[in-house]
A and B are shown apart, each in its own frame.
Chain A
Amino acid sequence: MNKTLRISFALRITYKVNSIIFALKSLPLINKLLPASLYASRGLKGFALVIAWIVEFFSVFLGKGLYLFSMVFPLLGTFSVPQNVGFVHCFTFLTIVGGFMNTQAFNPTKDKYYAIFLMRMDARQYSLINYVYFIAKMFVGFMPFTIIIGYLTKTPLWICVLMPLFVCSVKLIFMAVIIHNQDSVKNVYNENMPTKIVWCGVLLCLAAAYVPLYFGYAMPIWLFPVLCIPAAALAVFCTVKIWRFQDYRRIYKKLLDPTSPVFAGAKSVSQAATVDMYQKKLDTDITVTSSASGYKYFNEIFMRRHSKLLTRSAKRTALILLCIVLMGIGACFAFPDIRPDLSELVLENLPIFLFVMYFTNRGSVITQAMFINCDHSMLTYRFYRQPWAILSLFKERLKYVAAINLLPALPLALGLPALLYVTGGTSRWWDYPLVGLAILAASVFFSVHHMVLYYLLQPYNIEAEKKSATFGIVNWATYVVCYAVMMQDIPTAIFAPALTAFCVIYIVAALVLAYKLAPRTFKLR
């Protein structure tokens, strides 16, 4: 056991050290300063090792702190119940969500694959050791923050001490349940690809964590220890079950199968599996075709045969957004009190929807699919890389990408003005079209942004791995800018025309840039 712990830890640290060195290497300027034989350099390794340990140490606390100080603490003031009651209520239900969504054992990651299958470590020992470490991190990591927030909200200290214990108990119970159900279900539970039932459970718990608090309902604090103590007792029983379970290897065999789409759902998955997943999404119906010619023909067939991959999630998002808008409109009739709030949302907080458009935009998935299923092979043909060819295809593609992304934009572009109208409206009639226009402009903006980035930076190498540090930086910057804008309260009368104008200018500039530069930059790495 002890040896397994040491080896699995050493493995993870080595893996992190090499990732740090790799990341340093991909930074444009620093790269020049580093020696060629990087991975063998002792000084650098030592440096990366220190960083890896620091990261490991902070990972115990940082995530939990961020979680509590972003999802719980800032909202406590907005509820209509005392802060300590809100804290305990919210924490209880979010912990149950965490039981589904953060299991450690059922997160298919590369380090598990390396340890169990490449290094042939004992699967049971490896899983248990890592699970114990995970649970210990939960306990130690949560304790300071529950105590701090407890102090700030005047929650009894003994409740705050029980909270991390509750987290660990819930995790152990879920783990035991998943293990217990393994034999009766076809697919191994994968926390990154929750089933519909799990999604429903998560949404219900999320709703239960926040919604009642706004209406002044909350679980009384005394109920928490009443829940916590039986949960802890049950967790002891579950620990025995987890400990006695022998079939970890079989579970991981299924969960970490590199060719299975289950494994491909993971973020940190082997690239080959992602490529494979994209390729499997091809619609093999050859009667789906096109009557156009040249690049238009080529692009239409590509889009139509990948329509499931490219548009399904956009349609789904559109439907969800439509439901939310309709619920908002319905709520205005059912609870007239919330009308001013919703009116303020549209008239003062429109920047939030820029962020929504950022998240619902499918541009990055579409460009990745374009690369893996098309450009990856076609770019080896010289005729395909001629300036004229690149530009004609770019135009054809942009139309489709913009159209796909307009799907989720439309319910907002039409729904928000409607919502504004039912909340009592505004005296300035032009606010209605401006809100719609701003949403549409933002949608087209993100479509163009993703396409232009893809054509100017072409971040993928032949294995479809992202290799461009610049691409990462630009994406990160986009996120930061959107987030910063969201944080501002800007009146819609200013924000909507400003955003529309910015988008138009950006779109024109980006297209000019793409036309000038893409013939040189769009190639295989």
Chain B
Amino acid sequence: MELIVRDLVKNFDKKEVLKGASFKFSQGRIYGLLGRNGAGKTTFFNCVNDDLKPDSGSFSVEENGAERPLNPGDIGYVLSTPVVPEFLTGREFLKFFLDVNGQKIENIKTIDEYFELMSILPEDRDKLLKDYSHGMKNKMQMLVNFIANPPILLLDEPLTSFDVVVADEMKKLLKDMKMDHIIIFSTHILELAVDLCDDIVILSGGVLKKIEKEHLDNSEFKERIISALRGEDDE
């Protein structure tokens, strides 16, 4: 399966944010999306997730050699600031989520099994989400996206709020999941991108560009990424 982005254009007032971005993302790979502040990473994600209507351009999915339009069910989007309904407890949120999405989920598990998956402790499961820490809210948000199991996962700065142990668990989880998914991962932490991702894509000047690692070692590769982000790279 592939996600194909074609000639994506998005302007705000007169500011051109995306100027014809095109890319082909493939299943089985984790993409690290890098870009400077204000380069348009969130705009790009919002367009993919249909939160924003692009001015022009298209998204499609290629599956078994046939191309089809992108469906709402194809995408899971985990935001950098976790947003969860604070008036529900963790368990109630999962119950509600499973109530309304249950028929679409294959091999459904019990609520407690899902909590186990994210290592959320039994004593936290019946607390209001309002009283969850930032990292725990993020876990819940990530969890419902994992439960729905969409083939394409957009993760906006997902690991920064986790402590080192959880971040490590998440990395493993993402690596385990990647065979059946297209994972696009935006971050400002270069080490994380180079360490976790299979490909580095930068968003610069309103277009998407893959940075080839070729024969470079990690530190040379980082240099290349930074100069590309500075706009010095003219390949």
Hey, which bits of chain A sit against chain B, CB under 8 A?
A: 36, 279, 282, 284, 286, 289, 293-295, 297-298, 301-302, 305-306, 373-374, 376-378, 380-383, 385-386, 389, 523-524
Contact A298 B96 (CB under 8 A): yes
Contact A286 B128 (CB under 8 A): yes
Given contacts A294-B100, A298-B96, contact A36 B13 (CB under 8 A): yes
Candidates A36, A386, A389, A523; contact of B51 at CB < 8 Å: A523
Distance (whole angstroms) from the CB of B197 to the closest CB of chain A: 24
Beyond A297-B92, A380-B79, A382-B75, 13 additional contacts (C-beta under 8 Å) are A294-B99, A297-B95, A301-B92, A302-B85, A302-B87, A373-B86, A374-B85, A376-B83, A382-B72, A382-B77, A383-B148, A385-B72, A524-B51
Query: Can you give 27 A-B contacts (C-beta < 8 A)?
Result: A36-B14, A282-B86, A286-B128, A289-B92, A294-B99, A294-B100, A297-B95, A297-B96, A298-B96, A301-B88, A305-B87, A306-B87, A373-B86, A373-B87, A374-B87, A377-B84, A377-B86, A378-B85, A380-B51, A380-B77, A381-B144, A382-B77, A383-B72, A383-B101, A383-B148, A385-B72, A386-B72
User: What are the residues of chain A within 8 A of B88 when measuring CB–CB?
Assistant: 298, 301
Q: CA separation between A378 and B88, bound complex, in Å?
A: 12
Distance (whole angstroms) from the CB of B100 to the closest CB of chain A: 5
Nearest-CB residue, chain A, relative to B46: A524
Q: CA separation between A289 and B100, bound complex, in Å?
A: 18
Contact B126 A383 (CB under 8 A): no
Distance (whole angstroms) from the CB of A156 to the closest CB of chain B: 61
Nearest-CB residue, chain B, relative to A524: B51
Contact B96 A282 (CB under 8 A): no
Hey, which bits of chain B sit against chain A, CB under 8 A?
A: 13-14, 49-51, 72, 75-77, 79, 83-89, 92, 95-97, 99-101, 126-128, 130-131, 144, 148
Candidates B13, B14, B87, B100; contact of A383 at CB < 8 Å: B100
User: What are the residues of chain A within 8 A of B100 when measuring CB–CB?
Assistant: 294-295, 383, 389
Do most interface residues of chain A lie in helix, strand or loop, or is the interface mixed? helix
User: What are the residues of chain B within 8 A of A297 when measuring CB–CB?
Assistant: 92, 95-96, 99
Nearest-CB residue, chain A, relative to B87: A305
User: What are the residues of chain A within 8 A of B101 when measuring CB–CB?
Assistant: 383
Nearest-CB residue, chain A, relative to B148: A383
Distance (whole angstroms) from the CB of B54 to the closest CB of chain A: 15
Candidates B85, B92, B128; contact of A377 at CB < 8 Å: B85
User: What are the residues of chain A within 8 A of B86 when measuring CB–CB?
Assistant: 279, 282, 373, 377
Nearest-CB residue, chain B, relative to A377: B83
Distance (whole angstroms) from the CB of B71 to the closest CB of chain A: 10
Distance (whole angstroms) from the CB of A25 to the closest CB of chain B: 10
Q: CA separation between A284 and B86, bound complex, in Å?
A: 10
Nearest-CB residue, chain B, relative to A304: B87
Distance (whole angstroms) from the CB of B12 to the closest CB of chain A: 10
Nearest-CB residue, chain B, relative to A36: B14
Distance (whole angstroms) from the CB of B106 to the closest CB of chain A: 16
Q: CA separation between A376 and B86, bound complex, in Å?
A: 11
Q: CA separation between A399 and B15, bound complex, in Å?
A: 44
Q: CA separation between A282 and B148, bound complex, in Å?
A: 28
User: What are the residues of chain A within 8 A of B144 when measuring CB–CB?
Assistant: 381
Nearest-CB residue, chain B, relative to A37: B14
Q: CA separation between A145 and B140, bound complex, in Å?
A: 63
User: What are the residues of chain A within 8 A of B72 when measuring CB–CB?
Assistant: 382-383, 385-386
Candidates B77, B99, B126, B148; contact of A286 at CB < 8 Å: B126
Contact B85 A293 (CB under 8 A): no
User: What are the residues of chain B within 8 A of A377 when measuring CB–CB?
Assistant: 83-86
User: What are the residues of chain B within 8 A of A378 when measuring CB–CB?
Assistant: 83, 85
User: What are the residues of chain B within 8 A of A289 when measuring CB–CB?
Assistant: 92
Distance (whole angstroms) from the CB of A311 to the closest CB of chain B: 15
Contact A286 B49 (CB under 8 A): no
User: What are the residues of chain B within 8 A of A298 when measuring CB–CB?
Assistant: 85, 88, 96
Q: CA separation between A496 and B212, bound complex, in Å?
A: 75
Q: CA separation between A169 and B88, bound complex, in Å?
A: 53
Q: CA separation between A200 and B69, bound complex, in Å?
A: 65
Nearest-CB residue, chain B, relative to A389: B100
Nearest-CB residue, chain B, relative to A286: B89
Distance (whole angstroms) from the CB of A245 to the closest CB of chain B: 41
Nearest-CB residue, chain B, relative to A305: B87
User: What are the residues of chain B within 8 A of A295 when measuring CB–CB?
Assistant: 100
User: What are the residues of chain A within 8 A of B92 when measuring CB–CB?
Assistant: 289, 297, 301
User: What are the residues of chain B within 8 A of A294 when measuring CB–CB?
Assistant: 96, 99-100
Contact A282 B77 (CB under 8 A): no
Candidates A279, A382, A523; contact of B130 at CB < 8 Å: A279
User: What are the residues of chain B within 8 A of A306 when measuring CB–CB?
Assistant: 87
Instruction: Determine which residue in A279, A293, A306 has the highest number of CB atoms from chain B within 10 A of its CB, and name it.
Output: A293
User: What are the residues of chain B within 8 A of A382 when measuring CB–CB?
Assistant: 49-50, 72, 75-77
Distance (whole angstroms) from the CB of A516 to the closest CB of chain B: 19
Contact B130 A282 (CB under 8 A): yes
User: What are the residues of chain B within 8 A of A373 when measuring CB–CB?
Assistant: 85-87
Nearest-CB residue, chain A, relative to B75: A382
User: What are the residues of chain B within 8 A of A386 when measuring CB–CB?
Assistant: 72
Q: CA separation between A178 and B99, bound complex, in Å?
A: 56
Q: CA separation between A381 and B83, bound complex, in Å?
A: 9
Q: CA separation between A294 and B102, bound complex, in Å?
A: 10
User: What are the residues of chain A within 8 A of B99 when measuring CB–CB?
Assistant: 293-294, 297
User: What are the residues of chain B within 8 A of A293 when measuring CB–CB?
Assistant: 99
Contact B87 A282 (CB under 8 A): yes
User: What are the residues of chain A within 8 A of B128 when measuring CB–CB?
Assistant: 282, 284, 286
Q: CA separation between A523 and B95, bound complex, in Å?
A: 23
User: What are the residues of chain A within 8 A of B13 when measuring CB–CB?
Assistant: 36
Instruction: Determine which residue in B76, B77, B84, B86 has the highest number of CB atoms from chain A within 10 A of its CB, and name it.
Output: B86
Nearest-CB residue, chain B, relative to A375: B85
Q: CA separation between A378 and B96, bound complex, in Å?
A: 12
Q: CA separation between A51 and B84, bound complex, in Å?
A: 44
Nearest-CB residue, chain B, relative to A373: B87
Q: CA separation between A288 and B235, bound complex, in Å?
A: 61
Distance (whole angstroms) from the CB of B80 to the closest CB of chain A: 11
Q: CA separation between A297 and B85, bound complex, in Å?
A: 13
User: What are the residues of chain A within 8 A of B131 when measuring CB–CB?
Assistant: 284
User: What are the residues of chain B within 8 A of A381 when measuring CB–CB?
Assistant: 144
Q: CA separation between A385 and B76, bound complex, in Å?
A: 13
9 shortest interchain CB distances as A-B pairs: A377-B83, A294-B99, A293-B99, A305-B87, A298-B96, A36-B14, A380-B83, A294-B100, A382-B72
Q: CA separation between A385 and B49, bound complex, in Å?
A: 11
Q: CA separation between A36 and B75, bound complex, in Å?
A: 35
Instruction: Determine which residue in B49, B50, B87, B99 has the highest number of CB atoms from chain A within 10 A of its CB, and name it.
Output: B87
Distance (whole angstroms) from the CB of A343 to the closest CB of chain B: 48
Distance (whole angstroms) from the CB of B94 to the closest CB of chain A: 12
